Structure 1
Amino acid sequence: MLPSRAAIVATAGESIARGSKSFGAASKLFDRKTRERAWLLYAWCRACDDLADGQDHGHGMTAVEDADARLAVMREKTQAALDGHWVGDPAFDALRIVVTETGIPHRFVWDVIEGFALDAADWHPRSENDLYRYCYHVAGAVGCMMAVVMGVKPDDEAVLDRACDLGLAFQLSNIARDIEEDDRAGRCYLPDEWLVEVDMPPGQHMKPPFRQRLAMLARRLATHAGEYEESARAGTPALGFRSAWAVLAAAGIYGDIARKVAERGEHAWDHRVKTSAFEKIGWIARSFVQAARRKSLYPPVSRNGLWNRPR
């Protein structure tokens, strides 16, 4: 007998609880239907990320030797899910369910897969625009998918731009926090033009003589993350109260990661940066007020995001 929707949702809930305490805390602010769908989408994203990076729920990233084979498995299972087939893998069946229920455009799903393809090809950004392109594929497109989960129409480009901005903010925070972890896996997401600017040889950024310059680049990442975070808030008036509450809480909780990296400077990578339970509760309380006042605090804008999202 095939697992029920409830069983797949329960497995997805366990995945977000293990993989991201920040997103897990924010997801509890959604209404039940949206929360379950957010968990289903997270489960697929988490499974793809773990498969690509040889990790378990975001922990223990390692350099993999069969990246192309892993990418092929990812694509095959994703295609089966989008075709409406039973996959037999809870994370990919979670994608099948959430796409069917919400009408998430398939192009966003494939945009995310292309982010994993970049990593499989040992890609690294040469320019700042390359960096944003990568961030779109691995996080901005997920933001667009989450917007649809929250009821945003797939053709509402202005709100999707705001959702994309939030995804970019999250990924820039991740990159700043995980510079040392990525280096151990043979990856670097600092653009070549940034490294040249501060006279830092490629592959040497974690060496002690360059730590001060690395801290400066991490602060730059944190600054850009903050700009995208603020831009994303302008999309919340288009959401229902509980969805806006969850988005604003996630923005604040995750934004603190980038802010802490900037504050710690050269010591940002001595220990993994986290937000405490107390800090999460603080953001949940503050974002309740922000959500209630969102239409006056964050007037919607019609312009594109800070970075032009692929159409």
Structure 2
Amino acid sequence: MVKYDRAALVAAARGSIRKGSKSFAAASRLFDRTTRERVWLLYAWCRACDDIADEQEHGRTIVHATVGTRLAPENRLATIRTLTELAQAGEETGTVAFDALGQLMREVPLSPAMVEDVLAGFALDAAGWRPRTEADMLRYCYHVAGAVGVIMATVMGVPPDDEDVLDRACDLGIAFQLTNIARDVWEDHETGRCYLPAEWLAEAGIDPCAIASLRNRAALVSVVARVCALAGQYRASARVGAARLAFRQRWAVLSAANIYGAIDHKVKQLGARAWDQRIGTGALEKMGLVAAAFTESHRQPLPAPRLPLSRGELASAIVATVDP
């Protein structure tokens, strides 16, 4: 079993989160040092998997010098799986981000099933998957983000048998991904993807192939509003679980929830103009949302809403497929 240079891996992971996600970087600073470093290690692996899957670098598309140099999606998935398996076995991968996962698994009781649930999301994208129903969309959100939330909770010290808190951590990940879907409709369409349920689009009279057409924007607003409403429900459920975390962890989780909630609000507020430019939060706005989370951390949350699907249902269900 290889001996990793933990300090070097942490430094590289810190650089990755700073470059890849200002929102998560801001929230991670609220954790104690050990948890913060482990969060960075987890982020580095997730970011690397995303980048390999989409042939990007920190979320930005790589421009190929030669036509035909792009790898097939199934080959990219195979690369992710191979490097992840090496990391899980404690072997050196030759890739800092996957070595970060190997180091993390020596420090935190992550199970192979937790990791596999995340890889299943990349498999869906590699297969050109599209959601048919609301349940399909939620199951996709579980694999690409809810399952990461479960790992994140374990990183924060939540016991593997504390199913209730793990459920709430999953809910927060799902909420984050729903917000991403609402915000990134245009960007996803440009890469040939659509994560809005086909049934919802049909009800709104929108052809999935012409989702970015200006004539569809008014109808699209109502569809995206449904996504934002779901995100709000899952965020509210996650706040209940956050109340059972240690203070600094609770503060960090609620800060991230507030930041994504603000993005959600802007998407709804802007209506048909929501996709004119990428929506985010500025530095001062983030500071205000973090401060609000500090106050919220001292209050009892409202009761959890009833959700369409639980973590157990999402993890065990088979996702239906709509041909692209």
Same fold by TM-score greater than 0.5:
yes
What do the CA deviations read for 1:67-89 (whole angstroms, capped 9, x no partner)?
Answer: 11110010001011111112121
Match of 2:301 in 1: 297
Match of 2:110 in 1: 104
Shift of 1:26: 0.2
Deviates more, 1:168-177 or 1:101-110: 101-110
State yes or no: 1:34 paired with 2:35: yes
Equivalenced residues, count: 307
Q: What code does the residue aligned with 1:12 have?
A: A
Match of 1:251 in 2: 257
1:72-91 paired onto structure 2 within 5 Å: 72-91=78-97
8 A Cα contact 2:243 2:301, kept in partner: no
Shift of 1:65: 4.9
Match of 2:246 in 1: 240
State yes or no: 1:221 paired with 2:227: yes
Shift of 1:265: 0.6
What do the CA deviations read for 1:2-42 (whole angstroms, capped 9, x no partner)?
Answer: 76101100000000000000000000000000000000000
Shift of 1:304: 8.3
Match of 2:319 in 1: none
| Structure 2 segments unaligned to the other structure (5+ residues) | 65-69, 317-324
Shift of 1:298: 4.8
1:113-262 paired onto structure 2 within 5 Å: 113-262=119-268
For 1:123, what is the secondary structure of its paired residue? Answer: coil
Q: What code does the residue aligned with 2:90 have?
A: G
Distance 1:65 1:79, change over 3 A: closer
Distance 1:242 1:112, change over 3 A: same
Shift of 1:62: 8.7
For 2:210, what is the secondary structure of its paired residue? Answer: coil
What do the CA deviations read for 1:277-303 (whole angstroms, capped 9, x no partner)?
Answer: 11100011111111123xx2356x6x9
Shift of 1:60: 3.1
Runs of 4+ displaced beyond 4 Å = 61-65, 303-306
Take 2:253 and 2:84, find their aligned partners in 1: how far apart are those partners? 26
Shift of 1:90: 0.8
Shift of 1:244: 0.3
Q: What code does the residue aligned with 1:31 have?
A: D
- Quick one: which of 288, 310, 314 aligns to 1:308? 310
For 2:297, what is the secondary structure of its paired residue? Answer: helix
8 A Cα contact 1:173 1:221, kept in partner: yes
Match of 1:272 in 2: 278
What do the CA deviations read for 1:82-108 (whole angstroms, capped 9, x no partner)?
Answer: 111121211001111112211012211
Aligned CA RMSD, in angstroms, stands at 1.9
What do the CA deviations read for 1:27-63 (whole angstroms, capped 9, x no partner)?
Answer: 0000000000000000000000011011111223899
8 A Cα contact 1:161 1:305, kept in partner: no
Take 1:173 and 1:61, find their aligned partners in 2: how far apart are those partners? 25
For 1:29, what is the secondary structure of its paired residue? Answer: coil
8 A Cα contact 2:4 2:103, kept in partner: no
What do the CA deviations read for 1:148-182 (whole angstroms, capped 9, x no partner)?
Answer: 01110111111111001000000000011111000
Match of 1:21 in 2: 22
Percent identity over the alignment? Answer: 53
Q: What code does the residue aligned with 1:28 have?
A: R
Take 1:184 and 1:245, find their aligned partners in 2: how far apart are those partners? 36
Take 1:222 and 1:305, find their aligned partners in 2: how far apart are those partners? 14
Q: What code does the residue aligned with 2:11 have?
A: A
8 A Cα contact 2:251 2:294, kept in partner: yes
Q: What code does the residue aligned with 1:44 have?
A: W
Q: What code does the residue aligned with 1:128 have?
A: E
Q: What code does the residue aligned with 1:297 have?
A: P
For 1:186, what is the secondary structure of its paired residue? Answer: coil
Match of 1:95 in 2: 101
Match of 1:68 in 2: 74
Q: What code does the residue aligned with 2:31 have?
A: F
Take 2:52 and 2:222, find their aligned partners in 1: how far apart are those partners? 32
8 A Cα contact 2:4 2:99, kept in partner: no
| Structure 1 segments unaligned to the other structure (5+ residues) | none
8 A Cα contact 1:256 1:275, kept in partner: yes
8 A Cα contact 2:233 2:307, kept in partner: no
Shift of 1:202: 2.2
Distance 1:216 1:131, change over 3 A: same
Shift of 1:215: 1.2
Take 2:71 and 2:216, find their aligned partners in 1: how far apart are those partners? 29
